[in-house]
Amino acid sequence: MEALSEAGLCFPQLINTSCRRTQYFPSENILLYIMLSSVSLLTVTLNLLVIISVSHFRQLHTSTNLFLLSLAVSDFLVGLLLMPIRILLTGGCWMLGSLMCSLFNYTSFLLTSASVGNMVLISVDRYIAICDPLSYHVKVKQRRVQICICLCWGCSAFYNGVMMKDHFKDPDIFNSCYGECVLLIDFLVGTFDVIFTFLTPITVIIVLYMRVFVVAVSQAQAMRSQTAAVRIQGSVRITAKKSERKAAMALGVVVIVFIFSFCPYFYPAFAGQELLSSDLLSNFGIWLFYFNSCLNPLIYALFYPWFRKCLKLILTLQILQPASCDINIL
């Protein structure tokens, strides 16, 4: 009986202080690991393809694609570093020590914050490109883009370092037993985090994309009126309607996925509760938070025709040929 009890402990040699493993039925456990591992692999693969494409082909070395590259790097690290460790935590035991627990939580917040910041930068870039195209190349230069990306990563590192300073001082402060990696965010800090990491970015993205949508519709309407005299209204109307639908779909996908992925993570703060990283609801929110890193390359890259061409060149190993970086992609 005693041996059976010890088998359920994370550290059987520490009977009085060890945490207990999370109990799953074998079939559920296997299915869970397969599903989460597949998400991790897909996240790494998709974002790695984006990184290779933008880095390798010279035609893609533009200011706009630097934002895309930065986003892909943060999402790639989420899939490579954070998801595998989070998969190990599904058993309910932390085996890597207190210091690694702090570093893991800090890295988790850093990469997800950087991902959010990169999405905002991409929204600003698209806004300028569509709403003010004549001055785009004057306002958006590679030097300025590089500075914005560095500030995004630097501010994320500083902000999350300040938010987790108490956790760094005493990594075990919130652990109730040995073999646990828990981070508790109180109501005040959680409220500020919601405003800074969720409400502000989502407001900026919605406002910018709404403006982009309005401009796209007005341009389509102007195109219809200008070509009416040429008596090709039918074909133009079809093209305009398609343009309107594409603009609406892009806006809907970006906003809905962003809200759907982030709302469960910030629910405790909205409900006036403290965020405990070991709660079931918190774990569900964190995985949705991570899953957004898998969806980002689909939203921001797969909608671009050049990505499909790059994908073909990469998978057929044509990028290994001499001067492949100068291939016409656009």
Q: 69-102: per-residue pLDDT in tens?
A: 998 999 899 999 999 988 877 766 788 888 888 8
Strand spans (E) along the chain: 184-185, 275-276
Q: Would the pLDDT of 3 be above 70?
A: no
Q: Which of 3-17, 189-203, 269-283 has the highest mean pLDDT?
A: 189-203
Bigger pLDDT: 113 vs 257: 113
Q: Would the pLDDT of 15 be above 80?
A: no
| Cβ 61 vs Cβ 286: under 8 Å | no
Query: Where would I find the H helices in 271-330?
Result: 280-300, 305-315
Nearest to 269 by CA among 179, 192, 174, 170: 192
Q: Give the percent of the chain with pLDDT over 90.
A: 13
- pLDDT for 208 equals 86
Answer positive or negative: Cα dihedral of 147, 150, 151, 152: positive
Model confidence over 147-198: pLDDT tens digits?
A: 999 999 999 999 998 888 877 777 777 767 777 777 777 777 777 887 888 7
| Cβ 64 vs Cβ 304: under 8 Å | no
- Which pTM value belongs to this model? 0.82
pLDDT (mean) for 245-257: 60
| Cβ 178 vs Cβ 12: under 8 Å | no
Q: How confident is the model at residue 5 (pLDDT cuts 50, 70, 90)?
A: very low
Bigger pLDDT: 235 vs 95: 95
Bigger pLDDT: 205 vs 38: 38
pLDDT (mean) for 248-271: 64
**In order of start, what are the domains of the chain with their CATH numbers?**
25-326 (1.20.1070.10)
Q: Which of 2-16, 97-111, 113-127, 152-166 has the lowest mean pLDDT?
A: 2-16
Nearest to 216 by CA among 184, 243, 197, 193: 243
Chain mean position to CA 60: 22
- pLDDT for 269 equals 55
Bigger pLDDT: 328 vs 158: 158
Q: Would the pLDDT of 315 be above 70?
A: yes
Q: How confident is the model at residue 4 (pLDDT cuts 50, 70, 90)?
A: very low
